[in-house]
Chains A and B, each alone.
Chain A
Amino acid sequence: MNLEKVIFGFFIVLAATLNFGFFVGDIGNPVYHHVFELFAAIVVNLIATVLKFGDRTQIGAIHLATSLVADLQLVAAACVWAYATHVTGEGMTASITASVVSLSGGALLANIVSLAILIAETVMMRR
């Protein structure tokens, strides 16, 4: 067992699960989408991205690309949240919550792709 592989897989899966945890629930209802979960998703996604640095293979490149997409979407969601709560002061209305959650939904898709690549890679190794 390779510890590096364990950590790598752990962070990719954790990024996807945290993202899913934030995303799941009524899209316009802020009660289902806690900002702490968003924070955790962003941090773990960033760590997963850095872990993917420096792999020159084709699969490594796709891995990195999906992670970058997820980061971008989550940071955008965080920006929308910060703007709504602190700049305009309107707070987490249904429409703001919906846009934050839908942005994180995009990130979730990227994370799922990343998961799929991870699984495909593992299956290919077994063969």
Chain B
Amino acid sequence: MGSVFFIVLRRMRAPLITLIVIYAVSVLGLVLIPGVDASGKPAPPMSFFHAFYFVSYTASTIGFGEIPAAFSDPQRMWATATIYLSVIGWTYSILTILALFSDRGFQQALAASRFRRRVARIAEPFYLICGCGETGGLLIHALDRIDRRCVVVESDEARIVELELEDFRTDAPALVADASQPQTLLLAGLRHPWCRGVLALTNQDAANLAIAAAVRLLNPGMPLLCRAELADTVERMTGFGADYIFNPFEVFGRLLAQALHAPARYRLHRWLTGTPGTCMSTGDDPPRGRWIVCGYGRFGRSVVSWLVRGGMELTLIDPDVKAAPGFRVVAGSGIEEAVLREAGVAEAVGFVAGTDDDINNLSIAMAARRLNPELFMVVRQNQQARRELFEAYAPDLAVVPSEIVGHACLALLTTPLLPVFLRQMEQQDDEWARSLLARMRLELGDDVPESWSVRLDAVQAAAADAWLERRASLPLAALLTNPAARESRLACVPLLLRRDCGDHLVPTDSGDLRAGDEILFAGTHGARVRQQLILRNANALAYVLTGRETQSGWLWGWLLGRLGRPPAGAA
């Protein structure tokens, strides 16, 4: 607010001084020019009081007439001059104010001060998202759906305008500014006590790197998630100590490799990190055999290295034959059928269309599918806006870098235990994943489940914590029971139990929980809400554990205690 106020004052100096001078000259003239009395004889001039009164109502165009007495002709002459002078003065002032409000710099100052106030007023955990491109936009929507707040900084004004038009449940302050400037980050709440993490998600590696440096130097303890597309940037970000660095191509390459040699694990991964509420597609698993990779850029390199690790035979298509020594490279862009034939499309099992041009990728993919309809198609989609085209083409796998990074960030932010589970899952064999997947499908249905973690402490689970103060353990089965009907089970599956930093994958229902345990669940939203009831409400917990219905509030429990009977929850 301060800077806006000062800008207004500063710009208004000239018009205000003009007005003061005009008023002073007008008043002075009136107190010097002699008047005339009723009989036409000269009378003394007006006093300051009357002159000021006359100028005040004349300058504001109210015009009461000649008060206190009829004017002499010299006075009328002066009054005419006064009228024109004051109109000029006021017009000048009003025009200056109007020009000020339409001034771009002023509006930016106004927006910045409003943004600063909104950020300062936040009194709940929020994330600072730098870059509201496709990844950022996806993340903002996903965070909004689960009622997490965020503050957005984006350099493109059009994106912020789009963001403001959309319907959000939470209030997300947004600022048009360059996030790589440290001052912008500070303005957006880098040192705000409720800031829970900074996400550097702009589409420029250099900007993300600058954000990483600023965050580490200005608030060293702040969790930092970065997007990077070049290996060099990843290295430098690691140097700055970024907590998580997402290279979309690397993440996808790893996933593709997983899909090739452990399809069930891959499915489980996609299922757990998908957007909750969407239906999980049940596509085919990628086949093993000869693959063709079209386009050997950042994405192509990553995919090729993971395919090689997966033991696939490879042929590359790239305009630059010498780009990839050690591989068979067919020169061409991939759009020409002759090039595709030469690369052996007819004998291949998989095809990756991975150039950085969406329309090229689609035309390559269509040509390849025409030549070999059985091909497993992996198509890179660079822009979210082209989703309809890619859906119509229906590749076996669409690679959308923004979605990959968005989902990875989301999983990390909402359920920190989930990445732990996913890492541990990689140590398990595919049969294990297949059986877990089957169990989850059976219990949760085909929709992507929510995943959440629960910590048995006084903050997140008051009732369970109170129970554990008296008993050594709480059966895990209690958290899986429907608090409305004890015979039925909640639609959720425990995935991971963390106790004193030791992790147990997929704990059995008969297991016991202790105070301070952290459990990761996957399940429906309804199950999550009901489970929270069990954890927080002593009556619900008592019912789930004993089957006895108690309806005691605090007062009733206290009265029963006075009468020597155990209160609910202690039964």
**A-to-B contact residues, CB < 8 Å:** 35-36, 39, 43, 46-47, 50-51, 53-56, 78, 81-82, 85-86
Contact = CB atoms under 8 A, between A and B. Distances in A.
Given A36-B31, A53-B16, A55-B6, 13 more contacts: A39-B27, A46-B20, A47-B17, A47-B21, A50-B13, A50-B16, A50-B17, A53-B12, A54-B7, A54-B11, A81-B48, A82-B49, A85-B47
Looking at B2, B11, B20, B23, the one whose CB has the most chain A CB atoms below 10 A away is B20
A53 B48 contact: no
Interface string B41-52: 000000111100
B22 to A, nearest CB: 11
B17 A51 contact: yes
Interface string B1-40: 0110011011111001100110110011001000000000
A63 to B, nearest CB: 13
Instruction: Give chain B's interface secondary structure class.
Output: helix
Nearest to A54: B10
Given A54-B7, A54-B9, A54-B13, A82 B48 contact: yes
A24 B10 CA distance: 34
Nearest to B11: A54
Contacts of A78: 48
Looking at A47, A50, A82, the one whose CB has the most chain B CB atoms below 10 A away is A50
A50 B28 contact: no
Contacts of A35: 48
A78 B7 CA distance: 31
A39 B20 CA distance: 12
Contacts of A56: 2-3, 6
B20 A50 contact: yes
B100 to A, nearest CB: 12
Contacts of B49: 81-82, 85-86
B27 A86 contact: no
Contacts of B9: 53-54
A36 B20 CA distance: 16
Contacts of B17: 47, 50-51
11 contacts: A39-B24, A39-B27, A39-B31, A39-B48, A43-B20, A43-B24, A47-B17, A47-B20, A47-B21, A50-B13, A50-B17
A47 B22 CA distance: 12
Nearest to B49: A82
A43 B10 CA distance: 19
Contacts of A36: 31
Nearest to A39: B48
A54 B13 CA distance: 8
Contacts of A53: 9-10, 12-13, 16
B28 A39 contact: yes
A53 B7 CA distance: 9
Contacts of B24: 39, 43
Nearest to B32: A36
A35 B24 CA distance: 14
Contacts of B6: 54-56
A63 B6 CA distance: 15
Contact of A51 (B13, B31, B48): B13
A78 B27 CA distance: 14
Interface in B167-206: none
A50 B47 CA distance: 26
A85 B53 CA distance: 14
Contacts of B23: 43
A35 B3 CA distance: 39
B99 to A, nearest CB: 16
Contacts of B28: 39
Given A46-B20, A50-B16, A50-B17, A86 B47 contact: yes
A55 B2 CA distance: 11
A39 B51 CA distance: 12
Contacts of B21: 43, 47
A86 B51 CA distance: 12
Contacts of B10: 53-54
A46 B27 CA distance: 15
Contacts of A55: 6
Pick the 8 closest A-B CB pairs, nearest first.
A54-B10, A53-B9, A43-B24, A54-B9, A82-B49, A50-B16, A86-B49, A46-B20
Contacts of A85: 47, 49
A39 B2 CA distance: 33
A85 B48 CA distance: 10
A13 B507 CA distance: 84
Contacts of A47: 17, 20-21
Contacts of B31: 36, 39
A78 B2 CA distance: 33
